[in-house]
Structure 1
Amino acid sequence: MPRLKPKKPPRQMYLKTCNACGEEHETHKPKASRCDPCITENRRITYKSCISCGVKFPAPFGDEYNCLSCAEAHGIGQVELTPEQREALKAEETLARWKNKVATLEAALDERSNAKPKGTRKLSNKVKESAIGVAWLELCARDGQVSALSQLHERDIDEDTKLRLVMAFTRLRLKGYALDALAQLCPVHLMSLDDDKAITGLPLVETPPTPQELTEIELGLH
């Protein structure tokens, strides 16, 4: 009579939580990290960084903040936050919103900086060689600094025109237009846009600048 083979002991089963879907399942693999359906569907494990210790941990639901160890140490669930963590997260979100706002504003200014304002005209040689044209180029070259205003004060231009010239320059600079773009615009036309009152006569420069000096003014070297 043949000897019967001894029966194999039943496999030990383990109750595991799937790191991919978060469901509990039984398996005979002690190191199993995913359930059979997730393995069949090739569902990947999503990881997050623990808000407490920074270690990456499986986050099957996507709304976990703490790893299991830190959650247990704080006496909270993985999807919960301590008061200190909540305040820190709120501060980070506020900072992120401000950074995004600044980035959006910078992008808009970069796009506008070298653009030509709508409805404006280019600076002609006739205007460039006038007192108003030279004063405008000095404002652009020195970005409206005191030195440019001092030069403007010495120009043979009436006070009302000086004020309107500075206001036209300042208004466009505050809107974010670059100096290189402004230096190409006609200041006479810009001032006429303010109150629909154009300048009919262009006062001459007492001592007209040479072509070299005009070039230096445009480059900000004069």
Structure 2
Amino acid sequence: MPVAKSKKPPRQMFLKTCNACGEEHETHKPKASRCETCIDENRRITYKTCISCDAKFPAPFGDEHNCISCAEDLGIGQAELTPEQRETIKAEETLARWKNKVAILEYDLDERSNAKPKGTRKMTNKIKESAIGVAWLELVSRDGQVSSLSQLHERDIDEETKLRLVMAFTRLRLKGYALDALAQLCPIHLMSLDEDKAITDLPLVENPNPPTPQELAEIELGLH
């Protein structure tokens, strides 16, 4: 009599959570990380860094902050945050805003570095050789330092012109224009643009001790 073939035992099935879409699915593969749908659609697994242990973990929904182990240890869901973690994220966001602000300012300054201020003229050789031209170049070459002001004091120029020359230089320097660009400008034309721009009424001092950048950051973080 022919020997009956033994039946193969049924495959063991495992209930898994797909790391790509987050849906539960059954599979006979014990190490399966994706469901058949995600495999067929070639949907990749997105990873995030755990805010608690810095380990990489699958984040199918995109709003997870903690890996499964850390979330279980903390007694919260993966998308939830402890009060301490909220403070950490808030501090990181504040720092990121400051860095972005600095990057924007640096970009603007770089753009101005070699740019000629609008509405200005270049200095002619005749003005360059005059007392005003020499005084202007001394201001620029020494970036308005005390030594350049001492030299300016000795120039045969009236006091009002000296003051207007310094104000014209300082105003453009504070706007971020580079010294190389300022050295090419006509100081006489610059002073003509500064008419009626001198300070006449001094503003009242509301806070004699303004906060430092560190204190401003702490105020924004609610630490003060």
Amino acid at match of 1:70: C
Kindly provide the CA deviation profile for residues 108-148 of structure 1, in whole angstroms up to 9, marking residues without a partner as x: 10010110011111111111111111100000000000000
* Residue equivalent to 1:112: 112
* Residue equivalent to 1:209: none
Corresponding position: 1:122 with 2:140: no
* Residue equivalent to 2:28: 28
Deviation at 1:6, TM superposition (A): 2.0
Deviation at 1:2, TM superposition (A): 2.3
CA distance in 2, matches of 1:39, 1:172: 62
* Larger radius of gyration between Structure 1 and Structure 2: 1
Deviation at 1:63, TM superposition (A): 1.1
Amino acid at match of 2:133: G
Deviation at 1:194, TM superposition (A): 1.5
* Residue equivalent to 2:165: 165
Deviation at 1:7, TM superposition (A): 1.8
* Residue equivalent to 2:143: 143
CA distance in 2, matches of 1:118, 1:81: 51
Deviation at 1:154, TM superposition (A): 1.0
* Residue equivalent to 2:211: none
Runs of 4+ deviating beyond 4 Å = none
* Residue equivalent to 2:59: 59
CA distance in 1, matches of 2:147, 2:132: 16
- Structure 2: which 5+ residue stretches go unaligned? 197-224
Deviation at 1:181, TM superposition (A): 0.5
CA distance in 2, matches of 1:5, 1:33: 35
Number of equivalences: 196
Deviation at 1:9, TM superposition (A): 1.8
CA distance in 2, matches of 1:111, 1:134: 27
SS of 2:21's equivalent?
coil
* Residue equivalent to 2:181: 181
Corresponding position: 1:194 with 2:215: no
- Structure 1: which 5+ residue stretches go unaligned? 197-222
* Residue equivalent to 2:43: 43
Identical residues among aligned pairs (%): 85
CA-based RMSD of the aligned residues comes to 1.0
CA distance in 2, matches of 1:190, 1:114: 17
Q: Which has the higher contact order (CA 8 A, sep 6+)?
A: 1
CA distance in 2, matches of 1:157, 1:42: 78
Deviation at 1:79, TM superposition (A): 0.6
CA distance in 1, matches of 2:195, 2:76: 67
SS of 1:139's equivalent?
helix
Judge which range, 187-196 or 60-69, deviates more. 187-196
CA distance in 1, matches of 2:30, 2:144: 75
SS of 2:45's equivalent?
coil
TM-score (norm 1): 0.86
* Residue equivalent to 1:215: none
